[in-house]
């Protein structure tokens, strides 16, 4: 059984309530039906009920187990709480009403108030819109905490260097993290690996240099991040800077980093910036044949996840599954 199948079985063992903000998108409709039929989640769709029910019926939903809420008609249920949020206290009443009629904000208020266990959006909204709404309403686990992302990379069966599923971070959110931000991304990614994949984290902080084989500020940033991670979480198994081949191939590791317990065995890969992380996950997916699930948002107080606007039904279903597992954790 591969890691995605294992994730599915765990999600099915304790389904959660997930709200999908973009309820009139056909891909969302089909993914919602699949999630309910596969018994991994209870689903609420947001949008015009007549439109959504018509689409559900055309897609074969005959049980009507999926809930539908129209934020334009139901926004008042959250109006007082929304106005009392720290970041919305200064806005006037009419602006607050307008904001709550937006499905993204309504969905995250459902999560904040415990009426749903997690939200998923991004099929028609930008990543910035999804993250800003979640940050404003759900907030971060720690004050002034960083929101970052991970990708689960399920490697193909014929992969020689990497087996099973691994984590790539950050490929979706933080453009140019400093050492402190890299440390936060590292710790958050270790928690993602444990909660979603049951992995024992073995983390490689990646660079063009292995340890101090090169002298450059970009290498210094990785060294500083490593020190911070070890200070914040001394028990975490982490090393860096490591070149990618050193991180995954034991024979290379024995030459370039013979004293490292991570080199040659890493399963979490922290990239130095968004350029490298995003390029790497897409190369691994498109040329290497891996299945990518993400971006999985990290650092939020409650589960809320983003989708690529190019997501197909399987990708949306997988993100619902991930959000269920986050809610379980």
CATH number for the domain harbouring residue 83: 3.40.50.10950
Q: What whole-number distance in Å separates Cα of residue 214 and Cα of residue 199?
A: 31
Do 158 and 244 lie in one domain? The reply is yes
Q: What whole-number distance in Å separates Cα of residue 323 and Cα of residue 35?
A: 12
Do 233 and 316 lie in one domain? The reply is no
Do 279 and 309 lie in one domain? The reply is no
Do 283 and 244 lie in one domain? The reply is yes
Do 154 and 58 lie in one domain? The reply is no
HSE of 290, CA atoms in CB hemisphere, 13 A: 26
Answer whether residue 238 is part of any domain: yes
Answer whether residue 19 is part of any domain: yes
Other beta carbons within 10 Å of 124: 15
Do 80 and 18 lie in one domain? The reply is yes
Answer whether residue 296 is part of any domain: no
Do 39 and 108 lie in one domain? The reply is yes
Answer whether residue 115 is part of any domain: yes
pLDDT of residue 2: 62
β-bridge mates for residue 102, sequence order: none
Question: Which residues are CB-neighbours of 97 under 8 A, at least 6 positions away?
Answer: 75, 79
H helical segments located in 101-206: 103-112, 127-137, 179-197
Helix axes 313-328, 179-197, angle to 10 degrees: 90
HSE of 164, CA atoms in CB hemisphere, 13 A: 17
β-bridge mates for residue 153, sequence order: 166, 292
Q: What whole-number distance in Å separates Cα of residue 217 and Cα of residue 202?
A: 25
Work out how many domains the chain is built from and give that number: 2
Answer whether residue 125 is part of any domain: yes
Q: Are 105 and 78 in contact (CB under 8 A)?
A: no
Q: What whole-number distance in Å separates Cα of residue 278 and Cα of residue 169?
A: 9
pLDDT of residue 63: 66
Place of tokens 């191939």: 249
Do 129 and 185 lie in one domain? The reply is no
Answer whether residue 269 is part of any domain: yes
pLDDT of residue 215: 83
Do 13 and 31 lie in one domain? The reply is yes
pLDDT of residue 1: 44
CATH number for the domain harbouring residue 258: 3.40.50.10750
* Nearest CA among 302, 312, 311 for reference residue 119: 302
Do 184 and 52 lie in one domain? The reply is no
Do 259 and 242 lie in one domain? The reply is yes
Q: Are 308 and 316 in contact (CB under 8 A)?
A: no
Give the structural domain span for 252.
148-291
Do 85 and 219 lie in one domain? The reply is no
Return per-residue pLDDT of the chain as tens, 329 residues.
468 889 999 999 999 999 999 999 999 999 999 999 999 999 999 999 999 999 999 998 766 789 999 999 999 999 999 988 877 777 889 999 999 999 999 999 999 999 999 999 999 999 999 999 999 999 999 887 899 999 999 999 888 778 889 999 999 999 999 999 999 999 999 999 999 999 999 999 999 999 977 788 889 999 999 999 999 999 999 999 999 999 999 999 999 999 999 999 999 999 999 999 999 999 999 999 999 999 999 999 999 999 988 889 999 999 999 999 999 98
């Amino acid at each position: 059984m591969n890691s995605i199948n294992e994730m599915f079985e765990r999600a099915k063992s304790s389904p959660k309530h997930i709200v999908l903000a973009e309820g009139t998108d056909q891909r969302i409709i089909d993914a919602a039906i699949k999630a309910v039929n596969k018994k991994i989640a209870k689903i609420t769709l947001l949008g015009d009920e007549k439109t959504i029910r018509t689409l559900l019926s055309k897609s074969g939903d005959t049980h009507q187990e999926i809930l539908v809420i129209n934020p334009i008609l139901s926004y008042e249920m959250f109006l007082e709480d929304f106005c009392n949020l720290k970041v919305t206290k200064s806005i006037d009443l009419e602006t607050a009403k307008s904001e709550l009629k937006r499905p993204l904000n309504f969905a995250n208020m459902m999560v904040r108030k415990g009426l749903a266990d997690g939200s998923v959006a991004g099929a028609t909204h930008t990543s910035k819109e999804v993250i800003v709404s979640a940050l404003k309403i759900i907030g971060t686990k720690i004050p002034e905490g960083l929101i970052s992302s991970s990708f689960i990379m399920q490697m193909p069966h014929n992969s020689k260097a990497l087996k099973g599923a691994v984590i790539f971070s950050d490929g979706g959110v933080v453009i140019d993290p400093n050492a402190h931000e890299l440390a936060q991304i590292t710790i958050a990614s270790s928690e993602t690996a444990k909660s979603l994949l049951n992995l024992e984290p073995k983390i490689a902080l990646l660079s063009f240099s292995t340890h101090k084989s090169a002298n450059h500020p970009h290498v210094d940033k990785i060294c500083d991040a490593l020190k911070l991670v070890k200070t914040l979480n001394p028990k975490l198994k982490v090393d860096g800077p490591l070149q990618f081949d050193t991180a995954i191939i034991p024979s290379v590791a024995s030459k370039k980093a013979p004293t490292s317990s991570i080199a040659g065995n890493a399963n979490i890969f922290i990239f130095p910036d968004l350029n490298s992380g995003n390029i790497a996950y897409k190369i691994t997916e498109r040329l290497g044949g891996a299945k990518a699930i993400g971006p999985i948002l990290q650092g939020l107080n409650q589960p809320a996840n983003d989708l690529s606007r190019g997501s197909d039904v399987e990708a949306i279903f997988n993100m619902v599954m991930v959000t269920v597992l986050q809610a379980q954790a």
